[in-house]
Amino acid sequence: MPAIATFLSSLELFILITYMTIALKNAYQQSFFRSLIKAVALSVIYGIFIAAGFAIIALSALIM
């Protein structure tokens, strides 16, 4: 269980970094602030998922 949660949170972190780089590349074509707001909103959503993943790790460590 902790291994799965660790893998998922690292995967989410990778997706987040990938999305941020794509958003920064698109920022030069579109309006900068719109893409920045989009990137921040998505990073908050992924942050919640990563926090949930670490909460699962902590809970499974307590159960073990």
Is residue 46 a contact partner of residue 16, using CB atoms and an 8 Å limit? yes
- Residue 52: the pLDDT is 80
Is residue 4 a contact partner of residue 52, using CB atoms and an 8 Å limit? no
Q: pTM of the entire structure?
A: 0.42
Is residue 57 a contact partner of residue 6, using CB atoms and an 8 Å limit? yes
Segment 28-48, tens digit of pLDDT = 666 777 777 777 887 788 778
Domain assignments of the chain as residue spans, ordered by start = 2-63
